[in-house]
């Protein structure tokens, strides 16, 4: 039994689809399960997590960015110790660093350290900035014709498609070949956000604008949209790291693990173009 937490997310969801398409038994874990084989559990509830991971031969730990994230990480680890899987893969960030300046890198670095110190057979699956994060601004793109960030300037990024992360995770969860390894996953090219927005505009068939604002204005927009103070700081810290060049990295590790080259941003834009078009 392969157990995937964060089952309805943009990495957990496609990972489960891949595994089930191969006839493997999978249990997804989320607060609001969408599949009959999945279970509901709050990762902050240790007993619920232990029940969700019971019988797991492999675990893919995907934990949400919330103020108690490290507590939830610890619960998954404790539950995995009881279950005794052959591998515990954890979705992490390319910039993971326990002493990182931004909360994204710092929390992921500390969570990686907790997993390493647990004695469990771990694999860190570090992703660069997700291409699918562009989907969080579908309404803005459709209604205003723009995509906005803060603090990134002209920094380059090795954007990665979460479908490629899912393909890698499916390999990791069905083998012990990657135990003890840290996989750094990126797309095949370095692009700026402005270049990505231009590619997305080409795919959609309209001229899109890219707006890079200051952190205070962006924070106000996020808070106004209902984003928590914690998550707003999390997002802005990530963008500041991107702007400082922290995501200007490309590797060939997607291809090394899966045997297939990582998807380009152009492919992402073409595949998701309909999502960014005004519906009649």
Q: How confident is the model at residue 188 (pLDDT cuts 50, 70, 90)?
A: very high
Q: What are the strands of the beta sheet with 26-30, ordered from one edge?
A: 39-40, 26-30, 2-5, 58-61, 87-93, 122-127, 182-185
Bridge partners of 124, per DSSP, are 90, 182
pLDDT 10s digits, 189-215: 999 999 999 999 999 999 999 999 999
Report pLDDT digits (tens) over 10-41. 999 999 999 999 999 999 999 998 899 999 99
pLDDT at 14: 96
Is 90 exceeded by the pLDDT of residue 279? no
Mean pLDDT across the stretch 65-92?
96
Closest Cα partner for 39 from 5, 77, 71? 5
* Secondary structure (3-state) at 71: helix
Q: What is the pLDDT of residue 280?
A: 53
| 167 alpha-carbon distance from chain centroid | 13
CB 63 within 8 A of CB 79: no
159: tokens are 């954007």
For 183, the token pair is 């996989």
- The pLDDT of residue 34 is 87
**How far, in Å, CA of 147 to CA of 255, rounded?**
30
For 2-127+160-185+250-259, which CATH class?
alpha beta
Predicted TM-score of the model (pTM): 0.95
Whole-number Cα distances in Å, 118 to 2, 62, 63, 112: 20, 17, 17, 10
Residue 265 pLDDT greater than 90, yes or no: yes
Hey, where are the domains in the chain? 2-127+160-185+250-259
Contact between 79 and 52 (Cβ < 8 Å): yes
134: phi > 0 → left, psi -120 to 50 → alpha, else beta; which? alpha
Q: What is the pLDDT of residue 277?
A: 84
| pLDDT for 278 beyond 80 | no
Please enumerate in sequence order all residues whose Cβ is within 8 A of that of 267, keeping only pairs 6 or more positions apart, or say none: 161
Range of weakest confidence among 109-118, 137-146, 245-254: 137-146
Taking the C-alpha atoms of residue 173 and residue 20, their distance in angstroms, rounded to an integer, is 13
Average confidence score pLDDT of the chain: 95
From the list 90, 130, 99, the residue with the least C-alpha distance to 242 is 130
């Amino acid at each position: 039994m392969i157990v995937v937490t964060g089952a309805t997310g943009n990495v957990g969801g496609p990972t489960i689809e891949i595994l089930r398409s191969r006839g493997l038994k999978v249990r997804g874990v989320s607060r609001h399960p969408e599949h009959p084989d999945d279970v509901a559990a709050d990762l902050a509830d240790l007993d619920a997590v232990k029940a969700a991971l019971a019988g797991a031969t492999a675990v893919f730990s995907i934990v949400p960015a919330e103020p108690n994230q490290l507590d939830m990480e610890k619960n998954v680890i404790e539950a995995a110790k009881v279950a005794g899987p052959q591998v515990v893969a954890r979705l992490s960030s390319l910039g993971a660093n326990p002493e990182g300046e931004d909360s994204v890198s710092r929390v992921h670095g500390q969570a990686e350290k907790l997993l390493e110190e647990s004695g469990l057979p771990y694999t860190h699956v570090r992703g660069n900035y997700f291409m699918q994060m562009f989907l969080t601004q579908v309404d803005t793109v459709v209604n205003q014709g723009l995509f906005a960030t803060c603090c990134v300037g002209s920094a380059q990024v090795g954007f990665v498609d979460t479908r490629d992360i899912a393909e890698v995770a499916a390999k990791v969860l069905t083998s012990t070949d990657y135990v003890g390894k840290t996989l750094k996953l990126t797309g095949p090219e370095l692009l700026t956000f402005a270049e990505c927005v231009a590619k997305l505009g080409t795919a959609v068939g309209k001229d899109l604008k890219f707006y890079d604002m200051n952190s205070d204005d962006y924070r106000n927009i996020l808070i106004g949209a209902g984003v928590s103070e914690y998550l707003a700081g999390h997002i802005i810290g990530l963008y500041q790291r991107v702007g400082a060049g922290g995501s200007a990295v490309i590797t060939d590790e997607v291809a090394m693990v899966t045997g297939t080259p990582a998807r380009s941003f152009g492919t992402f834009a073409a595949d998701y173009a309909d999502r960014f078009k005004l519906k009649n």
